[in-house]
Amino acid sequence: MQVQVLWSGDGVLVIGIAAVLPRAKARLRIRAAVREAAARWLDASIEAISVESAPGSPPRLLLAGRAAGLSFSHDAGISLAAVHLHGAIGIDVMRAQDIPDWFTLAHDYLGPQVADALAACPAEQRPLALARAWTAREAALKCAGRQLAEWDDMPLNCNVLHIALEDGLVAMLATPRKTTGVGP
């Protein structure tokens, strides 16, 4: 299994693996890969690192007595994992492609402003723009501990970063926005 470190910094590690497998097997493979990569990253024993996941809640990476934020995403041919030692995290990946009902999809899930911006975008640039908007939203939702649902304007308070990939793939990483306290 070829694990590629795609990005790291400020307590965050993003890895990717080629995963031309059924989704269930890709899920198992990325979980093993994130344990191996985290062990190297943290100079720790792989036996001290495990993945915890339960339906309806974000997965976590357990590191010898403490938990780290963890997020996974899959698309045909690739699986990504993101670890955040200091809090929540979200990652999403998708292939840029022409989607016939893109406007309805964007309006219903990304909101009217994004749908209108995509409508103003040149048609040949729209698949990439839609993929960027979709993955940014999905990563931010994961970071906020929310599931994909139709659009609402509830703030997600996440910073979103584009992760460079090849072959028409788009990935976005979301971490909690750092706030500075004012007042008591």
3-class DSSP state of 46 = helix
Q: Are 162 and 96 in contact (CB under 8 A)?
A: no
Architecture of domain 3-176: Alpha-Beta Complex (3.90)
pLDDT at res. 184? 43
pLDDT at res. 65? 81
Write down the pTM of the prediction: 0.94
pLDDT classification of 178: cutoffs 50, 70, 90: confident
What is the C-alpha separation between 55 and 158, in angstroms, rounded? 23
pLDDT at res. 11? 96
Q: What confidence tens digit (pLDDT) does each residue in 37-56 have? A: 999 999 999 999 999 999 88
Work out the percent of the chain whose per-residue pLDDT is above 90.
88
Whether the pLDDT of residue 183 is over 70: the answer is: no
> For the chain, what are the domain ranges?
3-176
